[in-house]
Structure 1
Amino acid sequence: MAYNNNPVHAYKEARVRTASQGRIIVMLYDEAIRQIDAASTALEAQTRQLDVVHNAIVKAQDVVTELMASLDFEKGGEISANLFRLYLFFREQLMDANVKKDPAPMVAVRELLAELRDAWEQIAATSSVTSEYRGINING
């Protein structure tokens, strides 16, 4: 890990390192929502900052990809499979929004992300195990 003098970065890194798995998922949802909001704001601006729109949507897609990668199909079964399909839908909608510079798909994805985020917030509230105390699966 590189030495960093930025206290904000250090705080954020410590927050992630000590967060429970559920809390990390909530943070990912928060970031995806934040990026969609940034894209929507830039798209609605009089200057239509298309580079900002593009970059924010790509970041939101990256977060959704991370959510997809975090799915455990063995433990999650049908729920994981359903979430995977939903995340694929999110990525397709965000890609469509980016190509067409259309806010409608972003609005739909944001609403669904917010609902999922709230559900994960409730799950995270019931789990108090932090990441530093969790075991790591080394079986691959």
Structure 2
Amino acid sequence: MYKKGIHQYRQVGIRDQIATADPHKITQLLMQSALENLAIAKGCIERKDLANKAKPIAKATAIISSLRSTLDHEAGGEISRNLDDLYSFMLEHLSEASVTNDPQQIADVIEILLPIKSAWDNIPESAKQEAYNQRNAV
């Protein structure tokens, strides 16, 4: 019961953050959630708890697919194309991990996603504001 209460509290906290977040913050939250689910899935595979690996892999896959679908190839140019390739690679690895139960496949995805999230986290406020202004001007 205690764990259920904590889970519900966290869900409300996340919903509150999303309800008031700008697109940059939402992307940060999505990447963080993907990383958390990847860690859970990797742990499940390493512990041979294969029955519980599917849900976190599915969640991480859905998040990465969502991140990929929001890429603006016109405005993003080469960076957007590179991210698309990386997201595609991650999705392939997650599919493979789901079939083969290879935790290294998930570790590879984490290794790729961490620096992307770190770069996203370090975008200066002025650059975020400029991007919002350009988007709203269109």
Q: How does 1:52-91 map to 2 (within 5 A)?
A: 52-91=52-91
Q: How does 1:3-18 map to 2 (within 5 A)?
A: 8-18=10-20
Opposite residue 115 of structure 2, the aligned amino acid is: E
Residue of 23, 26, 42 corresponding to 2:25 = 23
Could you list the runs of 5+ residues in structure 1 that have no partner in the other structure?
1-5
Instruction: Return the structure number with greater relative CO, CA threshold 8 A, min gap 6.
Output: 1
Matched residues, percent identical?
A: 30
Q: 1:78 to 1:51 in 2, by over 3 A?
A: same
Aligned length: 127
Could you list the runs of 5+ residues in structure 2 that have no partner in the other structure?
1-7
Asked if 2 retains the 8 angstrom alpha-carbon contact of 1:23 and 1:124, the reply is no
Deviation at 1:10, TM superposition (A): 3.8
Aligned to 1:102: 102
TM-score normalised by L of structure 1: 0.79
SS of 1:39's equivalent? Answer: helix
Mapped to 2, the partners of 1:91 and 1:41 lie a distance apart of 18
Asked if 2 retains the 8 angstrom alpha-carbon contact of 1:57 and 1:94, the reply is yes
